[in-house]
Amino acid sequence: MMATQLHNETLLSRLPAVRGRYIEHVDLSGSTWFRVGGPADVLFRPADVRDLAAFLTECPRDIPRTVLGLGSNLLIRDGGVRGVVIRLDGAFNEIEVNGTTVTAGAGVLDVNLARICRDAGLVGFEFMRGIPGTIGGGLRINAGAYGRAFRDILDWAEAVDGTGSMHRVGLDELEMSYRHCGAPEDWVFTAAQFHGQHGDQREISARMQDVRQARKDSQPVNTRTGGSTFKNPGNDNPNGAKAWELIDRAGCRGLVRGGAQVSELHCNFLINTGAATAADLEALGEEVRRRVQAHCGVMLEWEIRRIGEHDPKNDPKTDRGNGPELVLTEEAP
């Protein structure tokens, strides 16, 4: 079946015929936890892995492609994302439990995998209860919490590369470390197999409740946020302090820029208090990095992925447009 909704002749006419769907000019702000960001030129929802692979094989190389999970670790800039944004759902949402192994599509929510494994009496997936993203997004960053991460339970992952070739790679080849995966940036993860151990369903359930409660107590989970903004510093941090501690010591808790604020509850989280632009959030994050470096010499590294183009109207780094000045006010005492 030919692609539907082909209105943007300049881009859409250059894209290959697919069995899935192309949708043009899609507002992406509703697709991220921050609820900010401009439009995608074209959103592509592949029908299945073969459709995705055929698309990647035939799509002209000069057209940028970006894969989107649940947008829980993403700051999409106000000018939007050029080219094609790929979203995996439908056929990518399947889960299959087989003894102590579980295969999940890249579109599966971490929380759903944790629940299925609990119901199957499988221990080891409880940490996923607190990570509000997809399996694909988790593979890309080796997501983790409470001392456990994807790499601890992963057997293999499948991906399609930028030329449409399919790969199945074992854990070792993925070179996963703290919030890092060594897979090439053009890989789109499509599925993964994990392993657990048989255990008591009630105990698993209790541990998942604990994870849920700990989240509610320590993180602004019911706000528009992107999770941890910066990675915890590694060897360049002689005191071993976590990112939130450095941010706190640098006096950034509660710092505000436009509609963006450093969370009072957990100061490694940025929040959109209602009317933030992506430019507000990014400029606030950069200001936090600057202040932390000035205070203790550590340059924090963004954990949140920032993608897309700046909107000149909102971009504080340009003199064009009528965006707000880069002036920070502090609401916190």
Ligand X SMILES: Cc1cc2nc3c(=O)[nH]c(=O)nc-3n(C[C@H](O)[C@H](O)[C@H](O)COP(=O)(O)OP(=O)(O)OC[C@H]3O[C@@H](n4cnc5c(N)ncnc54)[C@H](O)[C@@H]3O)c2cc1C
Active site amino acids: 179, 228, 303
Verify binding: residue 176, ligand X, rule CB under 6 A.
Answer: no
Residues for the chain: how many in total? 333
Does 191 sit near ligand X (CB under 6 A)? no
Nearer to ligand X (CB atom), residue 18 or residue 188: 188
The contact pattern for ligand X, residues 197-226, with x = CB under 6 A and - = no contact, is ----------------------x-x---xx
Residue 211, C-beta contacts closer than 8 angstroms, at least 6 positions apart: 126, 127, 129, 130, 145, 146
Note the Cα 152 to chain centre separation in Å: 19
Q: Does 272 bind ligand X (CB under 6 A)?
A: no
Least spacing, CB of residue 87 vs ligand X, in Å: 9
Residues with Cβ within 8 Å of residue 245, at least 6 apart in sequence? none
Question: Least distance (Å) from ligand X to the CB of residue 181?
Answer: 9
- Min dist. Cβ of residue 196 to ligand X (A): 19
Structure tokens at 277: 């632009």
Closest CB 68 distance from ligand X, rounded Å: 5
Tokens standing for 161? 């590369």
Q: Which is nearer to ligand X, 33 or 194 (CB)?
A: 33
* E strand intervals along 146-258: 148-149, 154-160, 166-170, 188-195, 197-198, 224-228, 255-257
**Closest Cα partner for 193 from 98, 305, 323?**
98
Q: Which of 188, 191, 262, 281 binds ligand X (CB under 6 A)?
A: 188
Strand, coil or helix: 119:
helix
Residues binding ligand X: what is the number (CB under 6 A)?
34
Interface characters, 226-265, with ligand X (x: CB under 6 A): xx--------------------------------------
Percent helix, strand, coil in the chain (nearest 5)? 30, 25, 45
Interface residues toward ligand X, by CB under 6 A? 33, 66-74, 88, 106, 130-134, 136-138, 140-141, 143-145, 187-189, 219, 221, 225-227, 305
